Structure formats: structure tokens, C-alpha cells
A and B are shown apart, each in its own frame.
Chain A
């Protein structure tokens, strides 16, 4: 295999994060470190001065090839609370020469000596592609690539679970809805598996939950009741309206009837179940208002936790990036000394 493994691509020689591309290949120690650091940032948000100088003097570019208000805003806030300079770029991809325009854009931004790119792109693997084709000194944070990964969203969900459940051992987690198109679900499966929950269930019709997913170790359920029985955590995914056009579902109302989360269907879960949703919510499509606004819902906590997790990931990747640059410099000076001898 001539290509670098994903693990090698996002870690420096000491095994620290230097990019944050995917949760695949990251071990429990690193995921726990992210959660611990995020936890420490959480308290900071409540103070009157909300800034720490960890990224002072660094330039962070929010590079969004897909529209997103929520994710971009929380990344921007996270970077600013770390005292970084932030630039937001929304770039429409041209369908004809996607590859070229992407590479050209990157080369221009590199020339401006940016330190970190936060990237959202419609193609799976785009963050890996950018990490491979950027100068080694730019840290890449994946803010969602196609259907592949959305690792910061998954980690903020993990933080939310840990804060409400105290840990991961013994937990049963149901992820309900459009798994097929969901980068959030894919990253959650990696995170939940690594952090050691007892069981992950994927719930939905065969068109949205293909059997291939059973290879991940998750249990596939095509009926909501079987999926929710005795679970500790329910993650509802957003149902995109365009799925109806692809003949994956007959209608929103039929989906709600079979898989919508209501007070009644929630009663199948454990009494202290928490309900999560990566947002934005379709009320009455995947979740009832009663549940979304009810006492089991932690949807708004997720948003708060999102800023802390993004601060943690950005500061860790930047620190890993700086360390790997320093060790490269010292290696380079060693070589020079060697040459003189």
C-alpha cells in the first residue's frame, strides 16, 4: 500500500492529532482527551471573559463548499474563543471542474499562510484529499465531507452522552432514520464503538439502513419498537426532503407513522432515556414537538457542547501541528549539522 493510512495522515509522529479528518483509527485515549478538554472549555463559556489565548496569532479559514449556518457559526465562535483570527469563505463548487477549482482555491489560501482550514465539502473523502494536497503546515478540520464523516458533530454527541449518562459502558444507543446518507451516523458509529457502548442499533427501512452496516457491529432494526426497546440514548437523524424523490420513501407522513419519535414510542426506551438530534429538526417528520421540547430532549445542550468540542479539537490539532513542525525543523537542523561534519 503506497498511500498513507488515515491514522497516519491525521496524527503526528508522537501519535497526537495534527488534522481531524475522521474518527476511524483514533483510539479511546484520544477521544477521551478530546472530551476531557472540551469539558474544561464548557465551564469557560459561563464566565464573563470567554477567551483563552491558545490560538492567538493563528489564522483559521472556514472553508465551506456546502451551505451551513449552524456548524460554521459554532466553528467561528470556537476559533474566536481560542483567540484566532477567523475568515469565512463560502465557495460554490463548479460542477464542471470541481477538482481544479478546489485545488486552485487551496493553493491560494496556502499562499496566504493560513494555519488551519475548517472544511465542509459535498464529496466523501474531501478532507482527506485536502490534507494530502495542502502544505504540511496547515491543520485540516473536517466539518463534514459528503456522506463520509462529521467527526466534530459525533464528538459533541459523545460529550452530551457522557455528561448525561456519566460514561459509555453498558449503554444501548439507537440511531434512527436516514443512515444511508448520514455522515453524522457514520462518525457516531465509530465513536460509540471505540468508547465502548454495549450496543448500537440502526433503525429505519431497508432503503435507508442497508444491511451492509451490520458489518460495523451495529444491530439493524427495521421496526421502531425493536430498535428503541430499553435504550439509554436515542439519536434521531434529520430526514432530507429530497429522499422522497429518490424513491427511498413513499412520504413524510408514512415515515413519521413508522419511525417518528413520539411520546408513545419513547415509552419503549428506558425511563431516563435522552433524545438527541444533530439539527435542524423537522418537527412532525422524524420527531414530535412534544418530544423535541420535552424533558428527555438534550438537543440544545448539544449545540452548547458543540462549541466546546470544536475548541478542543482545534487546539489539539494546532498543538500537534506545531509540534510536528518543530520536530521537522530540529530534524532539518540535525541534518545540516551532519552535513557540516
Chain B
């Protein structure tokens, strides 16, 4: 199968390319950009005039909800949502039921993803058995079964001793550990950023020190054990400062930020709308600006959707009783483009953080349209306005404050290994 995508604006930060070019694909891979290889006769010609041709997006924070939570989503439904949003590579969380702490569950997820055929799915394995924070999981077996990294997510470790040993063990085998730094005793019971809004509205607060106290401990342990580390979903200004310092001191740590923490602040909570209930919480404008600064100056190289679909009832409750999370993967790119339209990030930086940035931080071979790479890409109409509604959404989740909004920019087609999946 030979495919030619003609006359699109190819923007690929991995090769510093932003130009109107033709893209040539053969046998699932990119074979040329610009001039056709000698003797290339396309079986299919796609006219991409006026469209952007982007490497498929790489999303490090996705809950597929399967196995175990079919009321919220399934591998088929959520990878379908991913494909419709131009996301071709998904790192999914281990907090399924059963938890991804055995090779069987990791294999099940990948088998189902393969059958669905919508996106490349890389599971995270649990760092401890049952995410209980007590006993180490079979990390090597999990990695052999396809887990791309290990994480205990926001589940607390039983003790710093267990954490330290888990990191030592992971370091022994050169495994990547993903941290969601959170000091449980400071965040427990909270549902909103501790600040003026939470105080005046009587919402139990989660102070930024819940993140930074844990981050300080985690960084010290990473330095001591030498484990490969990625810090997920940073939300506070101080955290960016700490990651910056760590990198300056020579530590090779990476980090990502959820898109909603870049778009929104705790100001939106004044009406108790549970759709804005997320963890870590939406923080202050000062924090939001510091997160953007961390991206602009290259300290943070990944933005993710932190896609967490929920059934309708999960959000029909008073604010603190709603389940945290938003389900935005299918509008990840147009929502992220708000940051470019608003002059808060430049296009190249944003696209880096959605493609090659996250791929590199996890060592995944994706997010690039260089010759020889798998042809995972999407065609994006950056100017098209459309309504995102309960009727046309692809995710099974009902939870996004953006549902019902006019969205500017739409993914028109997504290709996985040269095959059109959306």
C-alpha cells in the first residue's frame, strides 16, 4: 500500500519542519517528505490542501477504564475518542480492576487495543501490588509484558522505605518510574486548590505543599537511587522551580502537565460545578503562568489530556462528592491551540509537547514523521469551528466542561501506520 498526502502543511517539531510538502508512505512507514521516491506510484492520493499534517499526538495520561469500569469507558470507546482527536499513542493508567499488577492484565489491555485498532496503547504497570504501596510488583515481568513504565499514581506508598526500595529495584533493571507526587496527609479530604476561592466557598483545600513536599522527597530519592524518573501532572509553580533546579543539577528527569491546568484556574470553582473537579486541582493564576513558563523554557516537555471518563452520575452531586477528572482527549488539540491563539505558547513548543516531547520522555518510538518512522499522523483543520456535543462525542465519558462549547479546530483524519483509522 502506497499513500501520498499532498500539499498539506507538515509541522513536525522532531525534524524542525514547518512547510507545505507532500508526504509519502509505503508499507506503514514514512518513505519521503517533499519529492516522491524514484518509481513511487501512490495507490491512494489524499489532498490535504489547507490542512495541517501533524505527527500523531502522544498522550501520557489516559484512563481507558477497561478492565473493570465499563460504565465509564472501554478500550474500544476511549481509543476511538483518541483517534478522533488525532492521538495515535496512548499511555494508559494501571488503576483498572483488576489492577495492572500482573502480566495477564497488561497483555489483556494490549490485545484489546490491538483488536480495536485505533491507537498504539502502552500500559503503565503498578509499582506495588494492588497499588497498595506495601509490596513490590513483579516489575520486570510487567515490563516484559509490554508495560512502558511503573507507577503508583496518586495512591500513597505505605512508607518512604517501601518507596525507596521500589526505586532501588526499578533502578537495578533500568525501569522508568512515573511519579504523581502527593503527600496524602496534606491532600486527604480536599477537593480544590487551597486558596481564596476554596476558603471563601468552604471547599476543603489541597495546598500546593501537598505536591511540593512529596516532590522534594521523591527528587531526593531519585537522585540517591539513580532511577529513571518522570513526574506526572505537576500543578504548582513551586514544582516547576524544583524540577528546573533538579535538571540544572544534572538529573535527567522529565515531567508533564495536564492541559486543563494550563487552561483553567480555581476561579472557575465559584459556582460549584463538579465538571471542574480534578486531581491535582486547578490552581491559581500564578501557578498556571508558572506552568506555562516551564513549558516555554523547555523544562517541561509534555502536555497530556489526563483523560478520565466518567458516567453521568459521577458528576451529579455536590462538588466535593463528585468524582475527579475530565474527559477531553478528543478535543485535546483544539483546546491546546487556545494557548497558541492566546499568545501563551508558540505553535512549535505546543506541538513538541504533544508529540515528540512526551514520546522521548517515555522512550517511545513515536511522535515523529521522520523517514523510516511509522506513519502515525493526523490531518487538522485549524480554522474549522464546530460544536462538541453529547450527540457527537466519541468518549463514553459525560464529563467535560467543554461539552456544548464551540470548538475551533478539528481533526479531519487520523492515520495509524499509514492506515486511516478516523
The residues in B between 394 and 408 inclusive whose CB is less than 8 angstroms from any CB of A are 401, 404-405
Tell me if A6 and B318 are in contact (CB < 8 A).
Answer: no
Tell me if A100 and B313 are in contact (CB < 8 A).
Answer: yes
- Chain A residue at minimum C-beta to C-beta distance from B314: A99
CA distance A100 to B200 in the complex (A): 27
Tell me if A183 and B202 are in contact (CB < 8 A).
Answer: yes
* A interface, size bucket: 20 to 34
Q: Which residues of B contact A183 (CB under 8 A)?
A: 202
Q: Which residues of A contact B272 (CB under 8 A)?
A: 124-125, 128-129
- Chain B residue at minimum C-beta to C-beta distance from A2: B404
Given the known inter-chain contacts A186-B202, A210-B199, please indicate yes or no for A3 contacting B273, CB distance below 8 A: yes
CA distance A180 to B272 in the complex (A): 18
8 Å CB contact of B321 from A6, A98, A128, A148: A98
Report B162-203 CB contacts with A as 1/0, cut-off 8 Å.
000000000000000000000000000000001110111111
B319 within 8 A of A: yes
Tell me if B318 and A123 are in contact (CB < 8 A).
Answer: yes
A30 within 8 A of B: no
From A71-79, A212-220, A256-264, give the one contacting chain B. Answer: A212-220
Q: How many residues of B contact A (CB 8 A)?
A: 27
Given the known inter-chain contacts A4-B271, A133-B316, please indicate yes or no for A215 contacting B201, CB distance below 8 A: no
B114 within 8 A of A: no
A146 within 8 A of B: yes
Q: Which residues of A contact B268 (CB under 8 A)?
A: 1
Q: Which residues of A contact B370 (CB under 8 A)?
A: none
Tell me if B316 and A124 are in contact (CB < 8 A).
Answer: no
Q: Which residues of B contact A6 (CB under 8 A)?
A: 270-271
Q: Which residues of A contact B203 (CB under 8 A)?
A: 124-125, 146-148
A197 within 8 A of B: no
8 Å CB contact of B195 from A124, A145, A180, A212: A212
Tell me if B405 and A2 are in contact (CB < 8 A).
Answer: yes
B320 within 8 A of A: yes
Tell me if B202 and A149 are in contact (CB < 8 A).
Answer: yes
Q: Which residues of A contact B200 (CB under 8 A)?
A: 186, 212-213, 215-216
A103 within 8 A of B: yes
8 Å CB contact of B202 from A5, A124, A133: A124
Given the known inter-chain contacts A2-B401, A4-B271, A124-B272, please indicate yes or no for A147 contacting B202, CB distance below 8 A: yes
Q: Which one of B198, B204, B321 has the highest number of Cβ atoms from chain A below 10 Å of its Cβ? A: B321
Given the known inter-chain contacts A99-B313, A186-B202, A212-B199, please indicate yes or no for A123 contacting B271, CB distance below 8 A: no
- Chain B residue at minimum C-beta to C-beta distance from A185: B202
CA distance A18 to B201 in the complex (A): 21
Tell me if A99 and B322 are in contact (CB < 8 A).
Answer: yes
Q: Which one of B194, B202, B204, B273 has the highest number of Cβ atoms from chain A below 10 Å of its Cβ? A: B202
A121 within 8 A of B: yes
The residues in A between 1 and 22 inclusive whose CB is less than 8 angstroms from any CB of B are 1-6, 9
B317 within 8 A of A: yes
Q: Which residues of B contact A100 (CB under 8 A)?
A: 313, 316-317
CA distance A211 to B44 in the complex (A): 65
- Chain B residue at minimum C-beta to C-beta distance from A129: B318
A134 within 8 A of B: no
Q: Which residues of A contact B319 (CB under 8 A)?
A: 123-125, 129
CA distance A149 to B319 in the complex (A): 14
CA distance A1 to B275 in the complex (A): 12
CA distance A124 to B202 in the complex (A): 6
Report A118-140 CB contacts with B as 1/0, cut-off 8 Å.
00010111101100010000000
The residues in A between 128 and 183 inclusive whose CB is less than 8 angstroms from any CB of B are 128-129, 133, 145-149, 180, 183
- Chain A residue at minimum C-beta to C-beta distance from B315: A99
Instruction: For residue B210, give the distance in angstroms from its CB to the closest CB of chain A.
Output: 15
Tell me if B199 and A102 are in contact (CB < 8 A).
Answer: no
- Chain B residue at minimum C-beta to C-beta distance from A187: B202
Report A186-220 CB contacts with B as 1/0, cut-off 8 Å.
10000000000000000000000010110110000
Tell me if B271 and A128 are in contact (CB < 8 A).
Answer: yes
8 Å CB contact of B201 from A4, A102, A125, A126: A125
Report B198-233 CB contacts with A as 1/0, cut-off 8 Å.
111111100000000000000000000000000000
Tell me if A98 and B202 are in contact (CB < 8 A).
Answer: no
Q: Which residues of B contact A2 (CB under 8 A)?
A: 401, 404-405
Q: Which residues of A contact B271 (CB under 8 A)?
A: 3-6, 9, 128
- Chain A residue at minimum C-beta to C-beta distance from B267: A1
Q: Which residues of B contact A215 (CB under 8 A)?
A: 196, 199-200
Report A281-324 CB contacts with B as 1/0, cut-off 8 Å.
00000000000000000000000000000000000000000000
CA distance A251 to B135 in the complex (A): 39
8 Å CB contact of B318 from A3, A121, A216: A121
Q: Which residues of A contact B204 (CB under 8 A)?
A: 147
CA distance A186 to B317 in the complex (A): 22
Q: Which residues of A contact B273 (CB under 8 A)?
A: 3
Instruction: For residue B310, give the distance in angstroms from its CB to the closest CB of chain A.
Output: 11
8 Å CB contact of A146 from B202, B313, B314: B202
CA distance A179 to B202 in the complex (A): 10
Tell me if B320 and A123 are in contact (CB < 8 A).
Answer: yes
Tell me if A148 and B201 are in contact (CB < 8 A).
Answer: yes
The residues in B between 295 and 317 inclusive whose CB is less than 8 angstroms from any CB of A are 313-314, 316-317
Tell me if B199 and A213 are in contact (CB < 8 A).
Answer: yes
Q: Which one of B203, B270, B271, B404 has the highest number of Cβ atoms from chain A below 10 Å of its Cβ? A: B271
CA distance A330 to B405 in the complex (A): 31
Instruction: For residue B405, give the distance in angstroms from its CB to the closest CB of chain A.
Output: 7
Q: Which residues of B contact A180 (CB under 8 A)?
A: 199
5 CB contacts below 8 A, A to B, read: A4-B271, A99-B313, A124-B320, A145-B318, A213-B199
| Beyond known contacts A99-B317, A129-B272: 7 more, CB 8 A cutoff | A98-B321, A125-B203, A125-B319, A145-B318, A146-B202, A146-B318, A212-B198
